[in-house]
């Protein structure tokens, strides 16, 4: 039996799925997980499209959103805007 490698980007095919995925990672993950998730979302939408919308080059996007990267906050905000997302702060219930 042949198996294929799981790639979450194959399943991020609508805005609701993307939002649910990213919100889950934000709630349960750490900063590296969040950067990785944003990279998966950008890959699902298309790095060329994200590059065009952010004004960043594809190679710099791949580098900024790779494992172990520490991208600037402005880069994260540009990518989030390009994928149709935003950051929202809600109070933590006691």
The pTM assigned to this predicted structure is: 0.87
Cβ-Cβ contacts under 8 Å for 87 (sequence gap 6 or more): 77, 80
Q: Distance (Å, rounded) from C-alpha 25 to C-alpha 55?
A: 26
C-beta of residue 69 within 8 angstroms of C-beta of residue 36: no
Beta strands in the chain (DSSP E): none
pLDDT means per 10 residues in the chain (94 residues)?
Answer: 86 91 92 94 95 96 93 95 87 80
What CA–CA distances, in Å, run from 24 to 17, 41, 58? 11, 13, 26
């Amino acid at each position: 039996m042949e198996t294929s490698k799981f790639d979450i980007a194959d399943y991020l095919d609508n805005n609701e799925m993307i939002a649910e995925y990213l919100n889950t990672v934000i709630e349960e993950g750490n900063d590296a997980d969040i950067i990785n998730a944003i990279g998966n979302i950008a890959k699902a939408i298309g790095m060329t499209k994200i590059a065009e919308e952010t004004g960043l080059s594809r190679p710099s996007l791949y580098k900024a959103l790779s494992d172990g990267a520490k991208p600037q906050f402005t880069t994260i905000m540009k990518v989030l805007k390009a994928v149709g997302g935003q950051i929202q702060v809600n109070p933590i219930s006691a």
